[in-house]
Amino acid sequence: MHIPTLIARKRDGEELSAREIENLIRGYTSGEVPDYQMSAFAMAVFFKGMTPAEIAALTRAMMESGDCFSYPSGHPPIVDKHSTGGIGDKVSLILAPLVACTGCWVPMVSGRGLGITGGTLDKLESIPGFKVGKGLDEAVAQLQQIGVVMMGQTDRFCPADKKLYSLRDVTGTVPSIALITASIMSKKLAETLDRLVLDVKFGSGAFMQTRKDAEALAASMIAVGREMGVEVHAILNPMSEPLGRSVGNALEVIEAIETLEGGGPEDLRILVLDLSEKIAGVSRDQLISLLDDGTARRKFDQLVTAHGGNPDDLPRLAEIHQAPLIREVIASAGGVVSNVDAGFVGQATLQLGAGRSKATDGVDFAVGFDQLVKCGERIHAGQAVCRIHARTAVDFDMAEAMIEKAVAIAPE
């Protein structure tokens, strides 16, 4: 196969065959196809797009570039959720143990935060001792014991995606529906799922800025999943204000635990139930009972133990990760909260140190926001709109200025 010709054909908008795409991905994974050719190919895809058949072939080739989960015969339904990412999105921390309580197995392979959206693995690692590294055999053994595993991508899990995602990140080729679909779905399909629910976000705090783009991405991911025999559901959700009231690694784990104990903010609890209902195979009322009677919380303890953490640390997480400066931001005027811009809150969280600008950066578990006001709430002058958890006074001032831009209060 002559790679320059293949790139030129895609550049000119031709449809490639499944065999050609397979060979390209195989060559890229083995190192025969260099990064500069793959970058040119990704840019051609970015401009010309791909047909549904090409996207399916790319997804399959990336999925087959490494190992897939395999389960013992007679296993229960294998289910998972994927979110395209948002600000304050800690749904996975609640949904995975909750759905495992219904008898399904949840093999959740998650990512780290990059840019303004947080990552499930970073949040979990704020629990002392929690290890996200597991081999596939170890992961399946854990599923047999407790029905849930929450881990990172290994070198043998979709290696083509691992390489291509890093390349896209530095070549301006991330926001392509074909490439996003193949990247996300190759990893989810390598989990060998029966059912998958997709939480596709749109708005200032999301990858997709408009509902129309989110719809196109959802349709593309559903088509690929169904083609591969997986029951796929998608829910479109606005990401104009942060989810829940806390943003930041340990702060989000604390809010997730409250929700696992039957409390937590209403928008978070509703979204967890909406998504869980699509994959769990039990009624919404049964899911509510599992949250309210402590069953899901006990499953989270088992999960923490299985990953090397100590559940006794969970109630002390706020002390373990106490930022040096915790101060309120006070509203200067009263009224009704009309906006809490997720994009600004995400930017501020990143600048406080909770996120990373490049893949090799570390994250600060302690910093972020909590007690954030929600749109539609009535507040009076002098009331707090949130608390900032910062490392330094300079960071606090930066975050306070961002919150003043993010929160709009309309006079009544």
Dihedral of alpha carbons 247, 250, 251, 257, sign: positive
> Which residue's C-beta sits nearest to ligand URA?
183
Separation CA 410–CA 318 (nearest Å): 33
Name the phi and psi angles at 323, rounded to 5.
Answer: -70, 150
* Closest CB 161 distance from ligand URA, rounded Å: 7
Considering beta carbons, is residue 169 or 261 the nearer one to ligand URA?
169
Q: Residue 208: CA atoms inside 13 Å, Cβ hemisphere, count? A: 22
The C-alpha angle 161, 162, 163, rounded to 5 degrees, equals: 90
Name the catalytic one among 81, 168, 195, 245: 168
Q: What is the nearest approach in angstroms of ligand URA to the Cβ of residue 59?
A: 11
> Which of 23, 181 has the CB closer to ligand URA?
181
Q: How far apart are the first and last CA of the chain?
A: 67
Active site residue 75: no
Determine the Cα–Cα distance for residues 227 and 56; give it in Å rounded to an integer.
8
Closest separation in Å from C-beta 155 to ligand URA? 16
Is 187 considered catalytic here?
Answer: yes
Cβ proximity to ligand URA, 96 vs 206, nearer residue? 206
| Annotated catalytic residue within 39, 65, 92, 183 | 183
Helix (H, G, I), strand (E, B), or coil: what is residue 71? coil
* Least distance CB 42 / ligand URA (angstroms): 11
> Quick one: 45 or 388, whose CB is closer to ligand URA?
45
* Catalytic residue, candidates 80, 89, 122, 161: 161
168 tagged catalytic = yes
Q: What is the dihedral angle through the alpha carbons of 203, 185, 139, 354, rounded to the nearest 10 degrees?
A: -30
Catalytic option among 10, 81, 82, 387: 82
Give residues in contact with ligand URA (CB under 6 A): 111, 165, 174, 179-180, 183-184
Structure tokens at 155: 């070198």
Q: Of 164 and 260, which has the nearer Cβ to ligand URA?
A: 164
**Active-site hit among 90, 112, 123, 187:** 187
CA dihedral 327, 331, 337, 342 (to 10 degrees): -40
Residue 134: active-site member: no
The CB-of-295 to ligand URA minimum distance in angstroms stands at 31
299 is catalytic: no
Nearest to 353 by CA among 369, 376, 337, 342: 369
Where do runs of H (alpha helix) occur along 177-236?
177-189, 211-227
Rounded least distance, CB 238 to ligand URA, Å = 18
The owner of tokens 């609640």 is 94
- In the complex with ligand URA, the residue whose CB is nearer, 184 or 280, is 184
Q: Which tokens is 369 given?
A: 């926001």
Q: Strand, coil or helix: what is 279?
A: helix
What is the helix (H) or strand (E) element at residue 192, kind and residue range?
none
Neighbours of 228 (CB within 10 A): 16
Tell me which residues are annotated as active site. 82, 161, 168, 183, 187
